[in-house]
Amino acid sequence: MSNDFRSRVQAERPYLLRYASLQLRDAHAAEDAVQETLLAALAGEAGFQSRANLRTWLTGILKHKIVDAIRKSSREAPALSADEFDALFDERGHWIEMPTAWTDPDASLDQKRFFATLELCLSRLPQRTAQTFMMREHLGLETDEICKELAITPTHCWVLLYRARMSLRECLNKEWFAR
């Protein structure tokens, strides 16, 4: 194993830890996933022939470790209630108070502070809702894959995704766009 490769892999650790923490929302699970990723990368050095960017390759390994961690935690953790999100809607499912319109999201996306706010909003979601959202939007999994991993129905998956998006929109309205 080359020391240069080991150093390059270790240099990506902070990025991988942030990525895993954002998706798993559990510092210990994120650390475990990153450690497993680094071990797999070091063991598979011969498989990395610089055809891809090292960060991209490591992130690909990490995504599989994250799915494994989510699969494990979904078997262990009971489903969470979404009662706090129901308070946003009336009995017909309409907004009680309409969110404000975004004025220029492209300009906001260019700012680092926006991403910090987005991470804050993601951390406020219930665990199951956040897992479903991250599996769909960051890992790119299809609905049937998410349902299989989390042992939920497609309808429940869509409800969780809807609630995640609406909650994120409301949080971003309050924490970012209303300022």
- Give the pLDDT confidence of 101-144 residue by residue, as tens digits: 666 666 655 667 777 888 889 889 998 898 899 888 888 889 99
Contacts of 18-24 spanning 24+ positions with Cβ under 8 A: 19/59, 19/62, 20/62, 20/65, 20/66, 22/119, 22/122, 22/134, 22/138, 23/66, 23/131, 23/134, 23/138, 23/139, 24/66, 24/69, 24/70
Is 60 exceeded by the pLDDT of residue 150? yes
Expressed in angstroms, the distance from the first to the final Cα of the chain is 51
Domain boundaries in the chain?
3-76, 83-177
Classify domain 3-76 by CATH number: 1.10.1740
Q: What confidence score (pLDDT) does residue 157 get? A: 94
Place of tokens 């599989």: 64
**Does domain 83-177 bear CATH number 3.40.50.1980?**
no
- Residue of higher predicted confidence among 85 and 155: 155
